[in-house]
Chains A and B, each alone.
Chain A
Amino acid sequence: DTEVTQTPKHLVMGMTNKKSLKCEQHMGHRAMYWYKQKAKKPPELMFVYSYEKLSINESVPSRFSPECPNSSLLNLHLHALQPEDSALYLCASSQETGTDTQYFGPGTRLTVL
């Protein structure tokens, strides 16, 4: 089973709202990732967690706040977003960080009004 699940599938929020995206995997993977994907563009890495610790932050604005409560869960907390943050947010996981294969979830389609 190589399934990564994400909720919600769609999210519409105003610029003053606070919301969270959730990601879950039960493959025993120890690395989890957040990516942002704009239409017809490749995914852009945002954050990497390894063994529940943040290992890479790709200079993401502080209005995006990741959290890894345990080895199976990854959250992305959103606050005071801008319309240009509207995108597909993808979660991925891999056995370890480094060069292991990353498996992607279906994403959350975020619209910021």
Chain B
Amino acid sequence: AQSVSQHNHHVILSEAASLELGCNYSYGGTVNLFWYVQYPGQHLQLLLKYFSGDPLVKGIKGFEAEFIKSKFSFNLRKPSVQWSDTAEYFCAVNAYSNTGKLIFGQGTTLQVKP
């Protein structure tokens, strides 16, 4: 069965530190990949997505992610975090054969200290 694994459950950083959140998935076929963010008290928002093409994708608010097919990974990065990036981050995978089933990782809680 498909699964998505996020290695970091809780990350605490100071402002201006660099961020990398890991995401690995288990599925051998073609996939679409997503990162969603959930700010405190707000709804899930799409940060970025990868469907095809350049494996380095840029999203909103200075986030980017790199798809490495050989490693089944889609890690999220930001060079310099801000206090306002404090949120829950979810990696999600949708396999081409899956008819709409978006599989989420367990999420990473990011806390940025001012």
Q: Which residues of A contact B (CB under 8 A)?
A: 31, 33, 40-43, 45, 48, 50, 55-56, 90, 94, 97-99, 101-107
Q: Quick one: which of B46, B95, B102, B106 contacts A45, CB cutoff 8 A?
A: B102
Q: Which residues of B contact A (CB under 8 A)?
A: 31-32, 34, 36, 42-46, 49, 51, 88, 90, 92, 94-96, 98-102, 104-107, 109
Interface centre among A40, A45, A99 (most CB of B within 10 A): A99
The 3 closest A-B pairs by CB, nearest first: A42-B104, A97-B100, A106-B43
Residue of A at shortest CB range from B109?
A40
Instruction: Please state if A99 and B101 are interface contacts (CB–CB under 8 Å).
Output: no
Residue of B at shortest CB range from A103?
B46
Q: Quick one: which of A98, A103, A104, A105 contacts B100, CB cutoff 8 A?
A: A98
